[in-house]
Amino acid sequence: MLARSSGLRGTARGARLAILVLWAALPLAVLEAQTDARDWSMYNCDVLGARHNKGETAIGRNNAARIREKWRFPTKDSDPEIGVIHATPIVVGGYVYFGTATDPAFYKLTPNGKIRWVYRNPEHGPAPAQPQDKPGEEITRKLRFQMSAAGILGSALVTEDTVFFADIGGWIYALDRASGAERWKISTRSQAFPGAHVFNALFASPILAAGNVIFAGGALEQLMAGGTSYQGSTGRGFVVALEPKTGRIIWKYDVGPKPEPLVPPITIEDSWGQHVFYFGPATSTVWSTPSFDAESGTIFFGTDVNTAPRRPTQDDPRLHTRESCAVIAIDARDGSETWVTQINPGDVWTNPMRAYDPKEGRYKDQAIGDTPKIYAIPIAGVRTKVVGVGCKNGGFYVLRADDGRLLEHTPIYTGPPTYPLVPVPDRRMLALPSSIGGLQTGCATDGKTVFTNGIDALRLASQATMAESGVPPTGGRVVALSLDARAERWRHERPKVASLGGPLPKPIYYDVGDPVASGIAVANQLLYFTAVASGKLVVLDAATGACLKEVDVGPVWSGPSVSRGRVYLGTGNTLFNPGDFEAFFPKKYTGVLYCFGLPGEDEVGRLGPGKE
């Protein structure tokens, strides 16, 4: 692989050896293609999936307690409202880029928080009018700020001249960075798109790899599949490479075999009822943002569950396919498969099904949504490239990057979804498994330590009946691990929240856990993240886990980004059920983009609102 990427041939053994020695002596980070190191230009900050801004030096452990709000958009008490911001904001040269999940739109703000441009897909209709305090306006406002089928739940990729992003309505966009004008857009639901599906959706954020822009998505059928009113599933997850200037499809990788009619249909029965599947096998949308190793030319990503079973045979009685709940490596040049390592076999699940199988002692919906992070560790004295990734079963996994062999994982809880926990979990367990628990996405590394976020929601969707399963999370934490996942360095446990509930005379739940569901941002030996139940931005010392700062921001799901001495964060939350009656997390259907920094003038303040 090294010889191919550097243009050497088989006879140049000495030169290859010299390059290998040089690589072994250098940090892995220098091998990636970098833009300005101070920017946060994509969801994970870099293509390695690290979520680490190496160029940030202004805010450190000695002054982090002094950060304060520099500005917010919209401003306090302003008439305009914007939708919920669920994804990590992107910041390049002090300009901020983000989309909204409700009232879907994509915004570019100047370094002082003013609108530079706003884009709305004309296919979704005209922009809604702002409230005017007229009769019936409140009903219109509520409809406008409900969760939208065209919502933007991923972050953008910002290059020298283009902004790339996608929405859960199946659209992929490329906008002119300066003006916001459309360069091109593609509907993955239109017949022109290979393997088009009416429920295609894109949650993952784009990256650049081998000169192409990479998107991941697929059919979001688990909301209906296996239910009485839907005779799917007929879709698959995918990763697609597009030519940046035109949107031309270079290649497309589909997850698993193409679904075919199941005649007769296959019925899976659990304590929640019978679930009938007319097509299969099917795989859900890929919501793991991919990573890219330029040295080997390899793209890595995680996959979701089987949303419909395969037809079992006498020789192979499995209902699942090998590509579900797996980490997959593909060649960035043509999308060909390099290896597949399945983390959770047997995971055939949709929303109408119970998320725990008591007969097999198996938790369901244990997908890999976290980005596989690329770094190196010593193995038998040899510096070896690996990928480390979190899973919804609560484990962090380390695999060889060249062949996918599993090297290590943290302890996993396998007991039933009841308290007290039996057996007693290993003290190094990172989070409990569940359909919204474990390590969702957004783990990080600075190349020396891995930092994991966590959600304990063991009883949610896992009890014998659906009515018994509406149980809120019980905990959340951030844990620092060695790169090989064998040693724990510290853990930050979030304190319980006294009560949560909707607009009722009294709270619905008491003594609720405070999940860490957002992506973690690492910069200048500090960690930044949000806690969902308490609605706080939290800053920790990366070396010790000591809490240096907490800021109340209200209902939140977005993870922060850090750039040029500023911390950026979007707020609002509609997950997972856009109704106050659920109340697992505080809800707010409008959003605010916050910018925090140190008091006084700083680099971004000197940039001002001028032209790029």
Residue 376 has pLDDT above 80, yes or no: yes
Please report the domains of the chain, with CATH numbers, ordered by start residue: 1-31 (no CATH), 32-596 (2.140.10.10)
Three-class HEC string of 80-143: CCEECCCCCCEEECCEEEEECCECCCEEEECCCCCEEEEECCHHHCCCCCCCCCCCCHHHHHHH
Global confidence as pTM:
0.92
Q: What is the pLDDT of residue 505?
A: 59
Q: Which of 13, 127, 9, 56 is nearest to 523 (CA)?
A: 56
Cis peptide before 74 (omega within 30 of 0): yes
| Mean pLDDT on 269-291 | 95
Percent of the chain surpassing pLDDT 90 = 77
Element (H or E) spanning 607, and its range?
helix 603-607
Instruction: Give the pLDDT score at 450.
Output: 98
pLDDT at 312 > cutoff 90: yes
Secondary structure of 453-498 in the HEC alphabet? EEEECCCCCCCCCCHHHCCCCCEEEEEEEECCCCCEEEEEECCCEE
- Comparing CA positions, the residue from 113, 139, 112, 115 lying closest to residue 128 is 139
pLDDT of residue 4: 29
Report the distance separating Cα 533 and Cα 95, nearest Å.
29
pLDDT band at 585 (very low <50, low <70, confident <90, very high): confident
Residue listed under structure tokens 């931005």:
537
The proportion of the chain whose per-residue pLDDT surpasses 70, expressed as a percent, equals: 88
353-391 b/e (C-beta count within 10 Å ≥ 16 → b) = bbbbbeeeebbbbbbbbbbbbbbbbeeeeeeebbbbbbb
Residues 372 and 385 sit within 8 Å (Cβ to Cβ)? no
- Give pLDDT, residue 21: 32
What count of residues does the chain have? Answer: 612
- Please, which residues have CB within 8 angstroms of residue 133's CB and are 6 or more apart in sequence? none
CB atoms within 10 A of CB 236: 28
Tell me if 559 sits within 8 A of 520, measured CB to CB.
yes
DSSP 5-42: HHT--TT-HHHHHHHHHHHHHS-GGGGS--S-TT-B-S
The model's confidence at residue 176, banded by pLDDT at 50, 70 and 90, is: very high
Asked if pLDDT for residue 117 goes beyond 50, the answer is yes
From 188, 111, 106, select the one nearest 154 (Cα to Cα): 106
For the cut 70, the answer to whether the pLDDT of residue 372 exceeds it is: yes
AA letter at 291: S
Report the alpha-carbon distance of residue 197 to residue 491 in Å, rounded: 43
Q: With a cut of 80, say whether residue 148 has pLDDT above it.
A: no
pLDDT confidence of residue 17: 32
pLDDT tens, position by position, 468-526: 988 889 999 999 999 999 999 999 999 999 887 665 556 678 888 999 999 999 999 99
DSSP category for residue 328 = E
pLDDT, greater one: 547 or 505: 547
pLDDT value of position 586: 81
Confidence at residue 498, expressed as pLDDT on a 0 to 100 scale: 87
Please tell me whether residue 536 adopts helix, strand or coil conformation. strand
Nearest alpha-carbon partner for 432 in 466, 389, 469, 462: 462
Backbone angles phi, psi at 565, to 5 degrees: 80, 15
477-486 tens-digit pLDDT: 999 999 999 9
Render pLDDT for 199-215 as a digit per residue (tens, 0 to 9).
999 999 999 999 999 99
Per the omega criterion (within 30 degrees of 0), is the bond before 358 cis?
no
Q: What is the pLDDT of residue 609?
A: 74
Q: Tokens 């790899």 identify what position?
A: 209
**CA dihedral of 40, 44, 49, 51, whole degrees rounded to 10:** 70
Of 412, 452, 447, 409, which is closest to residue 545 (Cα–Cα)?
Answer: 452
**Rounded (10°) CA dihedral 316, 320, 325, 328:** 50
Asked if residue 24 has pLDDT above 50, the reply is no
Is the model's pLDDT at 145 over the cut of 70?
A: no
Q: How far apart are CA 556 and CA 305, in angstroms?
A: 26
Average pLDDT, the chain: 89
**Which pLDDT score, from 0 to 100, does residue 127 have?**
62
Query: Residue 38, Cβ neighbours under 10 Å: how many?
Result: 22
What distance in Å separates the CA atoms of residue 218 and residue 236, rounded to the nearest whole number? 6
Closest CA to 255 of 170, 340, 312: 340
Q: Each residue of 36-54: pLDDT tens digit?
A: 889 999 999 999 999 999 9
**pLDDT in the model for residue 140:** 56
pLDDT for res 508: 77
Note the pLDDT of residue 2: 29
So what's the pLDDT on residue 509? 80
